[in-house]
Amino acid sequence: MPFSFDTTYKDLDSKLYSKAKPKAIDDPEVLVLNNSLCDDLGLHKSDLNSQILSGQELLEEPIAQAYAGHQFGSYTVLGDGRAMLLGEHVHDGGRYDIQLKGSGRSPYSGSGDGNATVSSMLREYIYSYAMQNLGVKTSRSLTVIETGESVKRRKTEPGAVLVRVMKSHIRYGTFQYVATQATGELERFTDYVIDRHYPHLRNKDGKYLDFFDEVMRSSINMVVDWMRVGFIHGVMNTDNMSIAGETFDYGPCAFMNYYDEDTVFSSIDRTGRYSFGSQRSILKWNIKRFAESLKPLFEESSHGFDELKAKLDNFEEIFDAKYHKMMRKKLGIKSDGEKEIVNRFLDWLRESRADYTNTFIELENPGSFDDVVYSSEDFKYIRSELSTIGLDKKVMNKTNPRYIPRNYLVEEALDKYLEKGDLSTFKNLLTVLRILMNRKCRIHNFNNPLQKNSIQSIQLTVTRSKGKR
């Protein structure tokens, strides 16, 4: 069998999910398959035909999960409107949700059609692939399957299904749903999540308090990692926040080019709620909503909700410490402290609007870029100042990406497929992301002409990104 399913979510109260059936697809076509993920899941590629991957041949009855969420600050009851859980795959002691996205209508679809376009699914595939290779905790994409139908969004495109893999799709919004729609299940559900994601807490006194603390810390780690690589999620609704600190739902997301904390990547985010610079404050806001959903678990405690609030009050200190530690590593500073120079460097970034990724390469290897911003006296001064305490190449090399999927390159690859049915540029991007994000590799290490040609053919060199500062 291709998957080894043991779906424990079905043992929970039936209010938390509904039975679902993937839409019929006459001739599903696998466009791209993640071979390394197959290996990690112990899957044999020969068993993974398009009928099984698209949900046409079912190993068990799929479900759609119910949840709630604050979307741009407004609370609503939701559910998997275009996603279905095929099952929980168990391999080598690990448990993984295998989910279809774009698989048709579910009981939670409302007026939606449950479909997805091929460009949106290929985009999620490549961004999750990049994040994995950049060392960010993330959902992973197993495959994208074209369905042979047409899907109308801003324009009409071929339809597609993504097979997404996560430790689970339990989110802050799942707890919000349980707390408001299935109130008698909160303790049982929380115990289930602890057993599944934080089993070391199951027999501890005060396990619910520790559970909240660990979820908060794993989320902080995730967002600090986003800021390390310049990633902007774009839609940090509470229903898009994983209880296990996994990045997921790559909709209007992107990597930042020029440093601008006000950068957003959602056409409806007119206030900058989910901008790059707001991700810290929005995470805290979301965690407060998560804490509120756990409040009934503390009603019988002698200290009540105050215990949880005390943990939440530590957010700023924890985030600040982790963020500055990350920035010290980006600047190659081995010692603790040095907060002042980190802040001065960030002030320079804000003022200069230099390319975020390239700046750290230029700091490490002066002369890498022919750009006036790196010839300024301000940049020379701050680099000279850093050279006395930092710029350790070994530390910087482990922390800073050399390559990111530049947004315009991703769009060019997607357009080429939509216009010509040609996936070669998209696959070349994946090749570069796989090879060059290995921090032990550099272009000059490659002797294989095919690898060099793949790199050069998509122009993914460490040059300045397109556009004006």
Site of tokens 């495109």: 157
Sequence-separated (6 or more) residues with CB below 8 Å from residue 250: 123, 124, 127, 128
Q: Do you know the residue count of the chain? A: 469
- Per the CB < 8 A criterion, the answer to whether 237 and 173 are in contact is yes
Residues 6+ apart with CB under 8 A from 308: 209, 212, 291, 294, 295, 298
Containing 94, the helix (H) or strand (E) segment is strand 94-101
CA distances (Å), origin 406, targets 96, 230, 411: 30, 11, 9
Q: Which of 80, 225, 239, 355 is catalytic?
A: 239
Partner residues linked to 33 by β-bridges: 143
One-letter identity of residue 448? N
Q: Does residue 239 carry a catalytic annotation?
A: yes
The 10 Å Cβ neighbour count of residue 68 is: 25
Which residues sit opposite 288 in a β-bridge? Answer: none
Which residue has 């950049």 as its token pair? 134
Exposed e or buried b per residue across 114-139, where buried means at least 16 C-beta atoms within 10 angstroms of its C-beta = bbbbbbbbbbbbbbbbbbbbbebbbb
Instruction: In whole angstroms, give the CA distance from residue 360 to residue 374.
Output: 11
Record the tokens describing residue 42, joined without a space. 């112990």
Query: Looking at the annotation, which residues are catalytic?
Result: 239
